[in-house]
A and B are shown apart, each in its own frame.
Chain A
Amino acid sequence: MTGAVLVDCAHISCAYDSSRVLQDVHVTIHQGDFVGVVGPSGSGKTTLLKAILGSIKPVEGHVTKKPQLRMGYVPQVESVDWGFPVTVLEVMVMSRRQGVRLPRITEQEREEAQLVLTRLGLAGLENRHIRELSGGQQQRVFVARALFHKPELLVLDEPTSGVDVRTRHEVLHLLADLHDEGVSIVLTTHDLNGLAAHLPRLVCLNKEVIADGAPLEVLTPHVLERTYGAPMEVLQHGGMPIVLDRAGEDVARRLGEMS
């Protein structure tokens, strides 16, 4: 069943200077959605997230949001300055401004933060510097900051980029739990097999929307070739699609012939 519309990107086009990054993109996010946006580098995935968040304005079309929509944003961990002098608790409360008149962290904020940190398995780490955490813990701190606002829509940019398999599982399970609790989620990812294939809905993007639907419907050789511009094969295992990169096979064959 489809929930109420949270964000409607109605035929939007976005550009940096004169270069178009998105062209006539129409994507609607409903309450209860868990959407993955996939596509090659430079396909406009992050730009679509920024349009949803309102940090860039489309040059054509418009983005309509549910009034007073609470959104939480988790940036790519690669973009974070890990040397910045902040603790886990300071990262969480820096986004809380309502009613704040002094730098001091209030007892109520501390308690609320503890609840979120415990929920994400980060209890006891609140006074640690962010660089002292493991990859999975670092990713979860930024999810915690976003959750501190009690968001209806959680927006994540490449949440599993640059993390190991174990951390990827942790992040995926965490997001699934949050979704079960009623948080709607939109994320971008490069990881077709490890993340995208597990999601209920995928948007294949390459400047325009190539396909929008369940993984089994959209992860097809035809759609993937149009999205990535390279031939790919799709197998099925346990009812889930598995994408094989045929360019990799060519390279393996050539190397095999040489040896």
Chain B
Amino acid sequence: MFTVIASLTEPFGYSFFRNGLMVATLAGALCGVLGVFVVLRGMSYIGHGLSHAVFGGAAASAVMKLNYFVGAGIWGVLSGVIIGRITRRRLIGADAAIGVVTTASFASGLALLNRYGQAKKSIEAVLFGSVLGVGRSDIIAVALVGILTVGIIVGLYRQFVFATFDPEVAQVSGVRVAVIEAVLMGLLSLTILVTMRVIGTLLISALLVIPASIARMLTNSFAKMLWISPIIGAVSAFVGMNLAYHIDTSASATIILMGTAIFIVVYAVTGVRGRARIGHVHV
């Protein structure tokens, strides 16, 4: 018994693990909150695209020796602006614009790292995430974005719900839907920015989609989804990180697999009712 407890608590003796665990758990909760809006608005592709766009910025920052948050943040905002401009011309749809801009950004990042960076190590770290090198600044960044996100969503709760459920009527009723959407995109970009180094570009969109989809199967209430989803995200991250240490697998992959396992169990347990609910989720 003592050996089991000692084995389970062993990783907590390492500061890199404690830092990584803290960031991953906060990231799971944060992605869980925003994921509710992502899945109900059918924006999972945007989450996927934004993470790829930010990868280009992360690579450029590394090559130019700029602060990661500044470089990747500016790159992410620029990508969003370019997507908006292309979409406004109406010649191609938003999904195609996201596809072109974000994959171009992703490819630029790969090329930059190949040419100028310590390619393999840097690419793997950004693509798949790494708990190594996670420091106090990362914890503070995730915590600040988390506080900002919760504050904005609580303060503008009804506008967010109205604009998500029925944007046209919300607009007519005086909700500035474009502003709400811009705020949501901004929070999403910030979240991807501060969590990408741990979770990785390729898997971050899963952390946005899986906990919210599980929450949707468990409840018919938007308000309840907003607290069930972050709990599931945080639990997936906490358990996944610990499991990854013990079975020696990638932390981000194990976190996502943990979430997927919960999804399968809930999907099976909630039966037809849960499946009907998830059938209406736009993932």
**Residues on A facing B (Cβ under 8 Å):** 17, 53-55, 71, 73, 75, 79-87, 90-91, 93-97, 100-103, 129, 149
Contact = CB atoms under 8 A, between A and B. Distances in A.
Interface in B204-251: 216, 219-225
Nearest to B276: A83
B157 A102 contact: yes
Contacts of A75: 166, 168-169
A83 B280 contact: yes
A94 B161 contact: yes
B162 A87 contact: no
Nearest to B281: A83
B222 A90 contact: yes
Contacts of A85: 40, 216, 219-222, 224-225, 277
B219 A80 contact: no
Closest 6 CB pairs of A and B: A83-B280, A103-B157, A129-B220, A94-B162, A53-B172, A85-B222
Interface residues of B, number: 32
A83 B217 CA distance: 11
A96 B158 CA distance: 8
B173 interface: yes
A195 B25 CA distance: 57
Main secondary structure of the interface of B (DSSP, over half): helix
B165 interface: yes
A148 to B, nearest CB: 10
A55 B167 CA distance: 11
A93 to B, nearest CB: 7
Contacts of A71: 172
B279 interface: yes
B280 A94 contact: no
Contact of B40 (A82, A84, A90, A100): A84
B277 to A, nearest CB: 7
Most B CB within 10 A of own CB, among A17, A129, A149: A129
B42 to A, nearest CB: 10
Given A81-B165, A82-B280, A93 B222 contact: no
B154 interface: yes
Interface in B142-193: 154-155, 157-159, 161-162, 164-166, 168-175
Nearest to B162: A94
Most B CB within 10 A of own CB, among A86, A91, A96: A86
B90 interface: yes
Interface of B: 40, 90, 154-155, 157-159, 161-162, 164-166, 168-175, 216, 219-225, 277, 279-281
Given A80-B166, A86-B161, A97 B172 contact: no
Contacts of A79: 168
Nearest to B90: A17
B131 to A, nearest CB: 34
A214 to B, nearest CB: 29
B173 A73 contact: yes
Given A85-B216, A86-B222, A87-B220, 19 more contacts: A54-B172, A55-B168, A55-B172, A73-B172, A75-B166, A81-B165, A81-B166, A84-B164, A84-B280, A85-B40, A85-B225, A85-B277, A86-B165, A90-B161, A90-B222, A95-B169, A97-B174, A103-B223, A129-B220
Contacts of B40: 84-85
Given A53-B172, A71-B172, A94-B165, A83 B159 contact: no
A17 B161 CA distance: 30
A80 B279 CA distance: 15
Contacts of B157: 100, 102-103
Contacts of B90: 17
Given A86-B222, A87-B221, A97 B165 contact: no
A55 B221 contact: no
Given A73-B173, A85-B220, A103 B166 contact: no
B173 A95 contact: yes
Contacts of A103: 154, 157-158, 223
A129 B222 CA distance: 11
Contacts of B154: 102-103
28 contacts: A17-B90, A53-B172, A55-B172, A73-B173, A79-B168, A80-B166, A83-B277, A83-B280, A84-B164, A85-B40, A85-B216, A85-B220, A85-B222, A85-B225, A86-B165, A90-B222, A90-B223, A91-B165, A93-B158, A94-B158, A94-B161, A94-B162, A95-B173, A96-B158, A97-B159, A102-B154, A102-B157, A103-B157
A97 B180 CA distance: 14
Contact of A100 (B158, B170, B220, B221): B158
Most B CB within 10 A of own CB, among A73, A91, A103: A103
Contacts of A84: 40, 164-165, 222, 280
B222 A101 contact: no
